[in-house]
Amino acid sequence: MLGGVRQRPPLGSSVSQPLPGRSRRYAVAQPFPEGWDMEVEDEEGFEEVVGGCLVQHGQVWNGDVKIHYVECGDKNGELVVLIHGFPNFWYVWKNQFLALAEAGYHVVAPDLRGYNTSSKPDGIQCYGRSAVVSDMVLLIDHLGNGKPATVVGHDWGGFVTWALAEDFPQKVKKAVLANVPHSSVFGSALRSSLRQIRRSWYIGFFQLPWLPEWLMTGNGCKTLKAALGGIPSFQPLDVDRHVKAYEKAGVIKGAINYYRAAFRDYWSAVTPRSTPVELPVDLIWGELDDFLGIELAVIPSTVATNVVIKLLPHSSHWPMWDDPKQFNSVLLDSIRSQHATPADQVHEIPVVSSSEGLVD
């Protein structure tokens, strides 16, 4: 709740300790207490320390659908919305919170509908384009002080960001995409590239009823643990947070329903665009992505006309985890810059190496 902070529910021990000489907003993360219950994050106003930054939990309602979010930074600052993908939730942005907050931004990371403690409506159509985008419009209206937001999306959150920029450009100051192509580029690759079809085999599997949910949640989310545990930059605590989020009733089904909705054409624009997106778009791409080929990073001028593509040669599908310092530097540069660059080409400036940082 923006108007005030509720008293933190008793957790049995302290979760954070303020840094000397700093605002209480920024604090040192401590291990979670034994038996810590993630359900408390559904308490509006609950605070915890994530990635060294004190974040506050809140919620907005889109009709009967609750959208849970965390926020940090200056609530009078420029709004930056961070939208997660699959198989993640708001926590995937933990390494960006402190950098963005210290830069003066109002940082908001929602759980998409179907994920974590956000509502999980029944019906595949409830996870289509118009429904999901309307959640983000409401969030921006509620927290943006009447101004458009910079929207940053990763994976499925990137598809949401693209749709938001196309359908409600007045709500978006700038779109920043992390390892996600435009849906038209991705769809074309799935029709023509055997390599991409093999990489995206799970999309077809997710169309089956109940079996994907059973496989993902069985044996204490063993499959999810194995998938996330195989990402070198994910620590055991990070995997545990994800498992706790996905163990909640209906989360796996809600998350997979995005793929089912897309397969059933619920993610097509109601009114196809006759003109490309003109607002600034930055595409940050880890070249070691095992799921999406680098060729998908090229955005045709028929899709967007003001695009810059920033390649991270040593990052994977999760560039914000592989090298947070590097990614945050590129992200802050993207948020601050307003460019006008012809699309239809891959820009190698700035190219980033893990050892050198940004180079021209």
Find the DSSP H helices in 178-282. 183-192, 194-199, 201-205, 211-229, 236-246, 251-263
Q: Which residue has the tokens 């040593």?
A: 314
Q: Model confidence at 45, in pLDDT bands (50, 70, 90)?
A: confident
Strands (E), the chain: 16-18, 27-29, 47-50, 53-62, 65-73, 79-83, 106-110, 149-154, 172-178, 281-286, 307-312, 351-353, 357-359
pLDDT for position 322: 95
Q: Supply angle C-alpha 307, 84, 211, rounded to 5.
A: 120
Report pLDDT digits (tens) over 232-269: 889 999 999 999 999 999 999 999 999 999 999 999 88
Known catalytic residue: 155?
A: yes
Range scoring the smallest mean pLDDT among 38-42, 166-170, 259-263, 283-287 = 38-42
- Tell me whether residue 341 is in a domain: yes
127 is annotated as an active-site residue: no
Mean pLDDT of the chain: 85
Residue 253 lies inside a defined structural domain of this protein:
no
Cα 137 to Cα 125: distance, rounded to the nearest angstrom: 18
pLDDT exceeds 50 at position 16? no
Any domain includes 33: yes
Q: What is the CATH number of the domain that holds 38?
A: 3.40.50.1820
By DSSP bridging, strand 53-62 and strand 65-73 are antiparallel
Q: Is residue 62 part of a domain?
A: yes
- Is 257 inside any structural domain? no
pLDDT per residue over 17-27, tens digit each?
333 333 334 33
Residue 183 falls within a domain, yes or no?
Answer: yes
What pLDDT digit, counting tens, does each position of 301-341 carry? 999 999 999 999 999 999 999 999 999 999 999 999 976 54
pLDDT band at 100 (very low <50, low <70, confident <90, very high): very high
Question: Is there a domain that residue 117 lies in?
Answer: yes
pLDDT higher for 280 or 343?
A: 280
| Domain count of the fold of the chain | 1
Predicted structure pTM score: 0.85
Which residue from 321, 330, 304, 145 is spatially nearest to 232, judged by alpha carbons? 321
Q: Which of the residues 111, 155, 289, 323 is marked catalytic?
A: 155
Angstrom distance (rounded) from CA 276 to CA 278 = 6
% of the chain beyond a pLDDT of 70: 82
Specify whether the CB–CB gap between 170 and 145 falls below 8 A: no
Residue 338 Ramachandran class (φ > 0 left, ψ -120 to 50 alpha, else beta): beta
Q: For residues 54-80, give the mean pLDDT.
A: 97
pLDDT at 99 over 60: yes
Model pLDDT, residue 345: 42
Do 149 and 81 form a contact (C-beta atoms < 8 A)? yes
> What confidence score (pLDDT) does residue 353 get?
33
Phi, psi of 66 (to 5 degrees): -90, 135
Alpha-carbon gap, residue 248 to 303, rounded angstroms: 37
Per-residue pLDDT band at 39 (split at 50, 70, 90): low
Residue 301 resides in a domain:
yes
Q: Do residues 177 and 283 make contact, with C-beta atoms less than 8 angstroms apart?
A: yes
Active site residue 317: yes
Res 38: pLDDT: 57
Spot the catalytic one: 69, 91, 115, 259.
259
- The boundaries of the domain holding residue 342 are 16-200+264-359
Catalytic residue among 317, 322, 323, 347: 317
**For residues 297-315, b (16+ Cβ closer than 10 Å) or e, as one string?**
bbbeeebbbbbbbbbbeeb
